[in-house]
Amino acid sequence: MQNNYILLDGKIVSEHLKKSFSERISKLKRKGILPGLAVILIGDDPASQVYVRNKERDFIKLGLNSRVFKFDKKAKKEDILSLIDHLNKNDEYHGILVQLPLPEGIDEFEIVSAISPDKDADGLHPYNIGTMTTGRECPFPCTPHGILKILEFYNIDPAGKHVAIVGRSNIVGKPLAILLMQKRNMGNATVTVCHSRTENLKEITRTADILVAAIGKPEFIKREHIKDGVVIIDVGINRVEDKLSNKGYRLTGDVDFNDVLDKVSAITPVPGGVGLMTRTMLIHNTLYLAEKKAGLI
């Protein structure tokens, strides 16, 4: 039984990285370049609105350019694609992000694919996913990259370890698996991707040295899913009804935090863990795209 554990604090890692961004931003500004991000928000999903507001605040604090372009949930596909085409050609914005998920009836693949790979701030364009898969540099998907940065900051090397990822989304599960198995720093892991059709899930997750929960089910992972000493990365952010809360709900992850606490060696909190890192890596990607265009890398 583990009596002591490390809280993998996303805020600490985020602030550490933001300090390293300062010199990169200064170098770009000395060349007359103000890194800019264009965010496209479609529909009125409350969670998406909060995310976008927080992202905009992050950029403003660092003296960067950020603008949100809003569409009604009934917006015509042609109007959205027309804006993306305009932003692709606009030198004011080095990165473009379409806030996901999109309203029903809008083809996510088509919209994301319309973004120029050279302005893909989310790292989700098919071209960049392919480039990442071959082991070459490009803007990586923000959440998987943020997870690697948390592990790196706390000196948790996945090399040679068994990493079980519960969840196979295009945003987290799949790209994270690709990054972890590559021959690179913070890679070289043996990776198992579990999902809703996985049989004997508990038998698999109990063999994991590092367990990543990205299944979108509140407090799904319990103590019977893990072995003693495991490192847990909880990607989930779920609203659960809580009548004792002033808001009427509380935020929880995909892991039952209190249930697993005496078995883990390290764990990310929710909130305050991976979510903060996703936003931080969005800044990194925007700077990376600006540096690449300026010929600095």
Q: Are 210 and 189 in contact (CB under 8 A)?
A: yes
Among 87, 78, 91, 94, CA closest to 40? 87
Q: Which one is catalytic: 58, 120, 122, 209?
A: 122
* Buried b or exposed e, range 84-94, using 16+ CB within 10 angstroms: beebeeeeebb
**Catalytic residue at 55?**
yes
- d(CA 44, CA 22) in angstroms, rounded, equals 34
Q: Which one is catalytic: 55, 119, 149, 174?
A: 55
Q: How far lies 137's CA from each of 48, 202, 266, 273, 290, in Å?
A: 28, 35, 29, 25, 15
β-pairing verdict for 264-267 and 249-252: unpaired
- d(CA 230, CA 270) in angstroms, rounded, equals 17
- d(CA 144, CA 285) in angstroms, rounded, equals 13
Residue 94 identity (one-letter amino acid): H
Among 92, 148, 141, 133, CA closest to 112? 141
**Catalytic residue at 122?**
yes
- d(CA 139, CA 293) in angstroms, rounded, equals 13
- d(CA 28, CA 248) in angstroms, rounded, equals 45
Q: Which one is catalytic: 58, 99, 254, 263?
A: 99
**Catalytic residue at 254?**
no
* Catalytic residue set: 55, 99, 122
